Chains A and B, each alone.
Chain A
Amino acid sequence: MIYTLLVLSSPTSGHGARTAYRFAQAALARGHDIERIFFLDEGTTAGSQAAVYPQDEESRLQPWIELATHHGVELVLCISSALKRGILDAGEAERYEKPAATAHPAFVISGLGQLIDASAKADRLMTFAR
């Protein structure tokens, strides 16, 4: 089956975001395809490469990077949610004259159309909250 995942909660707010990538890993292990993982609202903070998490805990960024690089899963951050939270890619950082590109390159910053498109293509749409 084809899955699209919607992530609404941040990695620092409960563990819903972690449940989302564990779900993604399990779905891939069961032979499913993931059309896209779309991060909206607080969920977009998952894409920050500037965040520093406690060293003695599981990384909150690395699993997403692995999904993108080893499994080719497309990770999309909603642009309006991301920008207001200071999650910018290089293009946006330059455009708005901000000090740094804070979005990890494993994530793409784009619009809601990507969520709508991915949902239309998916057999299953799963929402992950706090």
Chain B
Amino acid sequence: MILHTLHAMSPSASFQDCLRTAQPEDTIVLLGDGVYNALAGSHAADLLAANPVRVVALDSDAAAAGLQGKLGDTPVVSMDDFVALSEHYPRHLAWY
């Protein structure tokens, strides 16, 4: 069980390796430029959707990118939610 934070955009080795390493019970939090991976209609978003891992985006970073309402089914989470997630997962891995 790992909480992944993904700062890198697709296409990149970090994006690829994050998705390859993630297991269905993990969660990926999209941060920084990583939020663009959830932009509905993008190739990255399709890749994320095809993976059973749970994906969420940090609200402040998604808002800064102008992605409100453009993230399809990817939920947006607050910083408080992010901390709550970290309580649940004993391990955290940052991909950048």
Query: A contacts B directly in the complex (CB < 8 Å)?
Result: yes
Taking a contact as CB atoms closer than 8 A, the residue among A19, A27, A123 that contacts B31 in the complex is A19
Is B50 an interface residue when CB atoms closer than 8 A count as contact? no
Interface pair B7/A26, CB less than 8 Å apart: no
- Contact across chains for A129 and B80 when beta carbons are under 8 A apart: no
B83 → A minimal CB distance (Å)? 5
Q: When the two chains form their complex, are residues B83 and A26 in contact, meaning their CB atoms are under 8 A apart?
A: yes
Q: How far is the CB of A126 from chain B (nearest CB, A)?
A: 5
User: Do B83 and A129 touch across chains, with their CB atoms under 8 A apart?
Assistant: no
Q: Which of B's residues lie within 8 Å of A, judged by CB?
A: 5, 7, 31-33, 58, 60-61, 64, 79-80, 82-84, 86-87, 90, 92-94, 96
Contact between chains at B94 and A129 (CB < 8 Å) = yes
Main secondary structure of the interface of A (DSSP, over half): mixed
A1 surroundings in chain B (CB, below 8 A): 87
A32 CB-CB contact with B under 8 Å: yes
Min CB gap B66→A, angstroms: 15
Residues on A with beta carbons closer than 8 Å to the beta carbon of B61: 15, 19
Tell me if A71 is interfacial: C-beta within 8 Å of chain B.
Answer: no
A49 at the interface (CB under 8 A from B): no
User: At the interface, yes or no: A70 with Cβ under 8 Å from chain B?
Assistant: no
Contact A127 B92 (CB under 8 A): yes
Identify 17 residue pairs between A and B in the complex whose beta-carbon atoms are under 8 Å apart, listed by A's number: A3-B86, A14-B7, A15-B61, A16-B32, A19-B31, A19-B60, A22-B60, A22-B79, A26-B83, A27-B86, A123-B90, A124-B92, A125-B92, A126-B86, A126-B92, A127-B92, A127-B94
Please measure, in the bound complex, the distance between the C-alpha atom of A84 and the C-alpha atom of B58, giving whole angstroms.
33
Check A29–B80 contact: CB distance below 8 A. Answer: yes
Contact status A130-B7, CB under 8 Å: yes
Q: Which 8 A-B pairs have the closest CB atoms?
A: A129-B96, A127-B94, A26-B79, A26-B83, A27-B83, A129-B94, A22-B79, A126-B92
